[in-house]
Structures are given as structure tokens and as C-alpha cells.
Amino acid sequence: MNKEPQSFRVYESNQNDDAEKKDDELHKGYETGDLYGPQITDKDGALLDEHDSFYHTTKSLLVLFQIMGIMPIVRVPKDAQTTKRTTFKWISKATLWAYLVWSLESIIVIRVGKERLTNFQQNTNKRFDEVIYNIIFLSILIPHFLLPVASWRHGPQVAIFKDMWTHYQLKYLKITGTPIVFPNLYILTWGLCVFSWSLSFGVILSQHYLQDDFELWHSFAYYHIIAMLDGFCSLWYINCNAFGTASKGLALNLHKALQAEQPALKLAQYRHLWVDLSHMMQQLGRAYSNMYGIYCLVIFFTTTISLYGALSEILDSGLSYKEMGLFVIVGYCMTLLFIICNEAYHATRKVGFEFAVRLLNVNLASIDRSAQREVEMFLVAIAKNPPIMNLDGFTNINRELFAAVSNCNVCGNSNMSLS
């Protein structure tokens, strides 16, 4: 194995045409079905359910979202002869329940919103930090009207994403001979479900005790909203973690492909498995683009206003316990954004860079020429299908996004507070 650092410069995009010609020549002796691995048909419905470890280990979060009325996607019956194991319909028991829950929650949200808006308009003698609090908690009510509707609107895309995971696991099993194992994911998912609601109560009740005008009954309009934000963060974390686990498992199984009777064919099948994984990461951004787009905007707006209010009050009146409430909001929002950006970065790195490094460390002298070419094609596929997580093309989710938001908040608020 070659342990020296390798460069990716030999796999520039201007070599893609030559690589594709080599690929055609290399695979002339193989059937198309062989290259893509075993085909999944409607008769495999029971197998898809049996080996859908990702669904079984993360089912608790899906059920929580269904109870909250956020994501009314449902699984088809186990005996259904279809490859579509997850579906979304505008009229179903799950969606009707979602409409009912959302409508009941809207009653208290609208009532609290009207009261806060009235207080904001009528009381002109309020302190500056109290005005900031009113603006923040009016803005936090907005996701209640946007996020569930965005989730319903993208329900078909979410169902496609879930089905991609289901199909991928069975295809992975048939090609590698081993299932994808998600260690501790079942316990982690349950823990995140409980933690999401616990954190929601903690954040909102802290505001009740830190603000004189935050009445206790107002808190009932916010619990489900904060829990929803926590839940979406948990969902993103779980998916990113699963991408890294799948990529690691595929990388660890590379030796099986190299030792197979037809290593070139096996490597081609692994390559298609990797491309499917990369496409799933891209589908995650398409399926949840509206939800996480609104999510990031709410976090950015809330953080900016909270930090501005806290810094302004500290400069004018000094630090008091009221400003601590604003810092709690800033810390909460920035933590959510950091988790989303950091996990996306790690998933992209594990599926892309680290997998490519493992391929570059393959001892080419120990395999035949056709397998060597397949390794080259594998690296070209990684270069042509980068596992970048973005919100349907609007922005890439990575550490750079977190750094940009942090710099914008710190620099912008410092200038406004000092001016």
C-alpha cells in the first residue's frame, strides 16, 4: 500500500471524455445489468423492508414528526408488491392528522402573536431590550406557518429520498455480501427525540424567568416550534452520520472487490454504489431545500437581532440578567447552525475525500490492467459527482457557511452597536 500523499491533479475535468471512452472499452464484455449490480423489482418488497436498517433504527424520529404533523409520509404495507416503500399523499390519515394538529396549534400561535404585536405597538415606553425581545419572539412564531407547509409541499421528494435509502441498503447487501450496520443509531435517535422536546422546554422556560413580560401561557405557543427546529437539526445529523457510515462500510469492503474473480467488474459495481450514495446526498438537499432554507433564514435573523440587542444594552447600561436571555437565544441558534454545517462537512469529506484517498492507496501493481483502469474510472466518478450537500443549488452547507454567518453577525453588530 502506498502511504505517500497523492494529488488529484491527474483527474481534471478535461480528461473526462478520454476516461469515458476507456470505460466503454473496459466494459464491452459485461452485461449492463452486471455493471449496476442486481436489479430490484416489485417482488423484492419484503426484502426491502427486511433489510431497511436505516428506517428501523430511525423510525422513532419519523413517528415523532408524524405526531407533530410536520412530515406525514407513511410506509406501505409489508406485503405490498412495489419498490416504493415510502409514500406521501395530500389526502391520507397522516396528512389529515397533520392538518388537524397544525390548525389547533395555529389558534394559540395567532392569539399569542396578536397579543405580542398589540403590546409592541401600544407601549412606546418599553426599554430597548424589551423591544428586541418582542421582535424576536414574533419572528419565532413565523416558522409555525412556513416549515410544516414547506414540508408537506416537498413530501413527494422526501418520500423519494427515503426510498433511495431503502433501495441502496438492499443493493449494498447484494453486491458486498454484508449489510450496512448503523451502530448506536437506534439509541441515538430515541435520545434526540427526547432531547429535542427537553431542550425546547428548557429554552422557552428560561425566557419566561428572564423576561418580565413573558407570561407562562405564552410559552405554549413556542414549545412545538422550538422542538420542530431541534427535530430538523436531529434529522440532518442522523442523515449525515448515516452517509459517513455507509461510505466507511463501502471503503472497508474494497478489499473484497480487489480479491474477487473479476475485480474490474466488482469495482464497477462498487463505483455505481458510491455514485448512488453521492446522489442521495444531493437528493437530501433537494427534498429538504425549502425547510432548511427557511430554517437557516430564521436562525440568521434571530441571531442578528439578539446579538445586536445584547451588545447595545451592554454598551448603554452594562450587563444584566436580561441580556443573558438574549445570549441564550444566540447560543442556541448558532449551535443549531454549527451542527448542521459541521455534520455536512464531515459527511462530504468522508464520502468524497477520504474515500478517494483510500482508492489512491490501492497497490496498483497487485491488480490486473482492467482493474487499474476501473480504479481510475472510480476516481473520475468521484471528481464528476462531488458529494456536496446544498439546498437545491442555493447554497452549499459546510463550515464555510457557518464561518460566513458568524463573521457577518460579529462584524455587522459590532459596527451597529458602536455607531
**Smallest Cα–Cα separation from 76: which of 45, 51, 98?**
45
Q: Is the pLDDT of residue 38 over 80?
A: no
Q: What is the mean pLDDT of residues 363-370?
A: 84
How many degrees, rounded to 5, is the angle at CA 408 between CA 406 and CA 412? 125
Instruction: Specify the pLDDT at position 5.
Output: 41
Q: What is the mean pLDDT of residues 240-259?
A: 89
Instruction: Specify the pLDDT at position 6.
Output: 40
Average pLDDT of the chain to the nearest whole number: 83
Greater model confidence, 288 or 392: 288
**For 50-76, how does the pLDDT look when each residue is reduced to its tens digit (9 = 90+)?**
888 999 999 999 999 999 999 999 998
Give the pLDDT band of residue 412 (cuts 50, 70, 90).
Answer: low
Instruction: Specify the pLDDT at position 34.
Output: 63
CB atoms under 10 Å from CB of 56, counted, come to 14
Q: What is the mean pLDDT of residues 245-250?
A: 92
Q: Is the pLDDT of residue 410 over 90?
A: no
Instruction: Specify the pLDDT at position 36.
Output: 63
Q: Is the pLDDT of residue 198 over 50?
A: yes
Give the pLDDT band of residue 7 (cuts 50, 70, 90).
Answer: very low
Instruction: Specify the pLDDT at position 260.
Output: 75
Instruction: Specify the pLDDT at position 226.
Output: 93
Q: What percent of the chain has pLDDT over 90?
A: 37
Q: Is the pLDDT of residue 9 over 60?
A: no
Greater model confidence, 200 or 325: 200
pTM (2 d.p.) = 0.86
Amino acid at 56: H
Instruction: Specify the pLDDT at position 4.
Output: 42
Instruction: Specify the pLDDT at position 19.
Output: 46
Task: Supply 206's cell numbers.
Answer: 428560561
Instruction: Specify the pLDDT at position 126.
Output: 67
Q: Is the pLDDT of residue 106 over 70?
A: yes
Helix axis angle, 155-176 to 263-287, nearest 10°: 160
Instruction: Specify the pLDDT at position 50.
Output: 87
Greater model confidence, 90 or 263: 90
Give the pLDDT band of residue 27 (cuts 50, 70, 90).
Answer: low
Cα separation, 70 vs 149, in Å, equals 8
Q: Which of 30-44, 74-88, 102-116, 292-306 has the highest mean pLDDT?
A: 102-116
Burial of residue 327 (number of CB atoms within 10 Å: 0-12, 13-18, 19+): middle
Cα separation, 403 vs 219, in Å, equals 32
Q: Is the pLDDT of residue 32 over 80?
A: no
Instruction: Specify the pLDDT at position 103.
Output: 95
Q: Maximum distance among all alpha carbons in the chain? A: 82
Q: SS3 for the chain, per residue?
A: CCCCCCCCHHHCHHHHHHHHHHHHHHCCCCCHHHHHCCCCCHHHHHHHHHCCHHHHHHHHHHHHHHHHCCCCCEECCCCCCCCCCEECCCCCHHHHHHHHHHHHHHHHHHHHHHHHHHHHHHCCCCCHHHHHHHHHHHHCCHHHHHHHHHHHHCHHHHHHHHHHHHHHHHHHHHHHCCCCCCCCHHHHHHHHHHHHHHHHHHHHHHHHHHCCCCCHHHHHHCHHHHHHHHHHHHHHHHHHHHHHHHHHHHHHCHHHHHCCCCHHHHHHHHHHHHHHHHHHHHHHHHHCHHHHHHHHHHHHHHHHHHHHHHHHHHHHHCCCHHHHHHHHHHHHHHHHHHHHHHHHHHHHHHHHHHHHHHHHCCCHHHCCHHHHHHHHHHHHHHHHCCCCCECCCCCECCHHHHHHHHHHHHHHHHHHHHC
Q: What is the mean pLDDT of residues 348-353?
A: 92
**For 174-195, how does the pLDDT look when each residue is reduced to its tens digit (9 = 90+)?**
998 899 989 889 999 999 999 9
**For 221-230, how does the pLDDT look when each residue is reduced to its tens digit (9 = 90+)?**
999 999 999 9
**Smallest Cα–Cα separation from 88: which of 164, 10, 157?**
157
Greater model confidence, 15 or 248: 248
Instruction: Specify the pLDDT at position 185.
Output: 92
